[in-house]
Amino acid sequence: EQALGEPASAEQRRIIERLEWMFLEHWGDMGLGIAFGLVLVMTCIGVSVTSRWVRNRNGLLGPRGAFRTMRPPDILVWGVIAVAALWYADQQWPGIGLRPVVWNTALALAAVYWTNGAAVLAYALHLLRPPTVVAAVGFVAVITLAGLQSLCIVGLFDTWFSFRTKLRAWKVSRQLARAARRNDG
């Protein structure tokens, strides 16, 4: 706003207010959780890129597994439930000092489940192999329309619904149906 020498638009002002709220007023309540999330995501990217580079450059196997098959342990969902209960306690009795623990832990768990949601999305893209343009438009649509939190929700509910297994079963049933149509025709 100062650099442009003109007043900020309503949207710019709202963004500035959110950043001030997060980085000035509540950094102590959220900083560790945000840092953990950034380290987690950057580590996943780093391991994936390094693994691919090792495989392509040296012909070595690299680390076993792939990002798209990564999944947090099911028992971690109890941490989400505990944090939700503590969040409620913090809302009811704000003076008991739970806020830094609750918010940082909630952000760290959100990062874990966001990463899991991204892994489910990567698995779906790998399995279905849509054209690059379709995949890019779909990704932008998910982020724009549903927001980044949609990947957290997908990652969390993958605990109960096992989306990768359902996607694989759906693809196999589709292939079998296509093969049956060819044999009948």
How far apart, in Å, are the Cα atoms of 182 and each of 168, 169, 177?
21, 20, 9
pLDDT in tens, 44-77: 999 888 888 888 887 777 667 788 999 999 999 9
Please check whether residue 122 is in contact with residue 47, taking contact to mean a CB–CB distance below 8 angstroms: no
Q: SS3 for 151?
A: helix
CA max distance for the chain: 72
- The torsion angles phi and psi of 162, rounded to 5 degrees, stand at 45, 65
Q: What does the chain come to in residues?
A: 185
pTM of the model: 0.82
Q: Which two tokens stand for residue 185?
A: 């025709």
pLDDT in tens, 146-173: 777 899 999 999 999 999 999 999 999 9
Q: Distance between CA 33 and CA 22 in Å, rounded? A: 12
